[in-house]
Structure 1
Amino acid sequence: MKRKLIAAVGVAGMVIGLAACGDSGDDKGKTDANGNKEITVWVMDGSAPKAWIDEVNKEFEAKHPNTKVKVEIQQWKGIQEKVTTALSETTPPDVIELGNTQTAGYAVTGGLADLTGDKAKLGADAWQKSMLASAEIDGKLYSAPWYAANRVVVYDKKAYAKAGVTPPTTRDEWIAGLEKLKAADASTQPIYLPGQSWYVLAGFIWDEGGDLAVKDGGKWKGQLSTPQAASAMDFYKKLQSFSTAPKDKDEATPQQSTDIVPKGGVASWIGLGWEASGAEKALKDAGKEADFGYFPIPGKTAATSGTVFLGGSNLAVAERSKNKDLAKEWLALAAGKDQMTKYAAETKGALLPNQVGANFTAPAGSFAEAMAKAGVNGKITPVTPGWANVETEPNPIKEFMTKVLKGEDAAKAGEAADKEIAARINK
């Protein structure tokens, strides 16, 4: 997720500005040129398959014939600033997709509707507890968990077969395999790994028993100057040494799945389900054929795969929505078991639905199967309103990674990052 610091005003710092406007959103409601009511839904690029969202809207509009749903696809790049601005306006989108690490930050601004009283209507009892955690703050519900996903290693079966490498189950096997890939074909990167893939690093830190930040005496403090973070970064550095990817960019700059992998010369990379399918399409469009295999990020031992960041999205209703009740009804439909079951099937398990009853049975050897195995060891970033400020560009975790990869001492770079993390997270 790519974001830019908003002139020293973090997401949580918008609370005064949002609260001061005093527009409750319970007025006559937005209407289109024909006098029909209209609700606007913002979803992120890659989150909602067209066939699925068309069906949700068709079902919703059948129940509300005088209401139209306008879906607007958003890009992750710059979305935090865009959402912050939208929630401060008098006519925001009615329903907004938010990253699960960002929801708490927007909740405290007063920009999201309190859905606590709507839990029964929304079907909250069926939602997975691990996903629900990011949707609540101080016992109140501010969004519905929608989907979650985690990264796995995507590899070129032909490149692995040529080098005599099989999917590893431990870190040591992983490194040994990359060595063999390097020896087998000097023109191919054993792994494409940009220097700032911080969600990958987070998993390594958790593997070491560390964390990105911890609460101490009512305040949060960063943990990148710890021995655990240094050890995790050392392993990341070993992996990155097999890649020619830039040390000061993340996986979306350029987008690894559509801008890098289709050009060839990449034996493996770490990505999400939508990236894997995007790479397959890009290769097909280029007249090539994808032959991918998938395996969980290896752990220190074969007994447990590596810990992974369980990222995902929630769906929230804007506090100033002009059609708040209709927005809640759309949300209840989209996040309900029937539509989530269809969602899981439509995404073929590339994204995990918000409830176990809607799960998709993944085919053997698929991305979904590898993701499900890895997801057992999933974790999320600290659930606190200030965490959204940490992710805002320039992200101190990413800067820490680049410094270490370019030779700076991990403890020294970690101290600078921890100072910035504390300043942001405690706003």
Structure 2
Amino acid sequence: MSSIVIFGAGSRGDVQPCVALGRALGAHGHGVTLVASARYAPLAARAGLGFAPLTADPAEILESDAGQELLAGGRNPVKFLGGFRRILGPLAERLLAECLDACKGADLLLGPTLGALPRHIGEHLGIPWALIHFQPSRATGAFPHPFVPRARMLGPLGNRASFHAVDQLAWLLSRPFINPWRERSLGLPPLPLRNTADGRPVLACFSSTVVPRPRDWPRNLAMTGYWFLDEPGWTPPKDLADFLDDGPPPVYVGFGSMVPKDAAMTDRIVRTALRLAGVRGIVQGDPDTSDEHVFAVRDVPHSWLFPRTAAVVHHGGAGTTAAGLRAGAPTIVCPFFGDQPYWGERVAALGAGPSPLPFRGLTVPRLAARIRASVEDPDIADRADRLGRRIRAEDGLARAHEALEPLLR
């Protein structure tokens, strides 16, 4: 059997699907090592994975001044990718060394597009590799890149060009530290200004129910469906179970690893909006701040909680969006940056929730109005329920294993 290394860069929403994939591959007898921030070691251990820690912590990064500037950049690709370069540039040499060290003895490398680490280390070791897409990242004429929505005004050519432009920008920003590392540490030649790896295998871990597959995507891109990490043995604390049993289903509000600049003000807005909308709530926060109408939780598996809610409000990360849609819960997305606005737009286009409410425009009346619409509109509830049934019928992990089989032989 193969020894597989999966790069789980980023926050929990990026890491958890990788853990789910690793556990599924491990069930087929493969040895799997997850490379991720040290804070995710317990998550990997519970899934039976090997673990190689990275010394950069995404939570600390987002709390920093540079991280707050990144969150404020919205979906502008120049600000988004430039912000990543400013943050990761000083850490690049150390992180690249940690990643390379974790791959000793590997037979297959899997990881995200950003930085394309599987490609560089795979070439160095002479082993196969494949990329993971958490959002649409392959050029198509059907729709624009999630970061460049206005490109659709130029039609199919503009849509396709938007993907190439974002890819080229990402490479130009990472090239100054990737190419020296390729030469110095990997013994590989530098890559040119225009750089592609279009023929390599790609796993797109999102559902065709949410993003219909474009006809012009190549066969080497396997659109597997979502990779969910279920925790069926998880037991809720008694006070949470009692709160859920003591009234109608609540509305969940949480922004994951996003760190609002004024967390106290955000909490007041959320709690006031819940009261104005006339609903009970479960919020992400300090359990000691709970009251009879709002229950605060720190870490509850979405797979357990979301099916027990009347609606979910979140930042629109790919993983959280997937969990809400799978649960059949009406969804309100309050995006911060990156691909989050795109997922909010997809939710609204599918009729499973209202139009997204950008976090920077979060107010009590706006949030309360969207919560009321989500819990009172039977059409939204019906569409969310039907969408959830379709997603639950998919088996993204089985499809991912099938797509990887040619590389695992």
- Same fold, TM-score > 0.5, yes or no: no
TM-score bucket (shorter structure) = under 0.3
Query: TM (normalized to structure 1)?
Result: 0.24
Length-normalised TM-score, structure 2? 0.25
